[in-house]
Amino acid sequence: MSLISQPGSDYQAAQITLDAGNACDIMLLLLDAHAVLDHLYLDGTQPHITAPAEDYLRESASPYTLPALIGALDDVITMLTRAIRAASPDPCPVSGGAHREPRNAARQQCMGDNAQNAGI
């Protein structure tokens, strides 16, 4: 797991309740951020492009390097996807990269699925 645990947080639990539309929007936002960072990083083959991001992370005292941040985003996306799927059979069409539906179409699908599940 790429997420960096903060000292003392190992035994803490947090719970958040989101409606399906917000959960879908957050998922799409995270997928977009992951895709952009992953594309910019390109496995470190173009350091002149990623140097400003690496500098910013270092200067802001972030515990993450750019590759670790990309990995942590992947972990959060995975956790959120599991939570969404556990909450409802198919609340949001989630797929990666260029194969996913445009943001508005995915949001409409999320809203339609949830209205159907609620009997609306």
Give 81-114 pLDDT, tens digit per residue. Answer: 888 888 776 555 554 444 444 545 554 454 444 4
pLDDT of residue 1: 58
CB proximity list for 111: less than 8 A, separation 6 or greater: 20, 21
Residues 97/57, Cβ–Cβ less than 8 Å: no
- The C-alpha atoms of residue 23 and residue 62 are separated, in whole angstroms, by 26
Residues 57/65, Cβ–Cβ less than 8 Å: yes
- The C-alpha atoms of residue 1 and residue 71 are separated, in whole angstroms, by 8
Q: pTM to 2 decimals? A: 0.64
In this predicted model, what pLDDT tens digit does every residue of 1-16 receive, in sequence order? 566 766 666 666 677 8
Residues comprising the chain, all counted: 120
In this predicted model, what pLDDT tens digit does every residue of 48-72 receive, in sequence order? 888 888 999 999 999 999 999 999 9
- The C-alpha atoms of residue 68 and residue 62 are separated, in whole angstroms, by 11
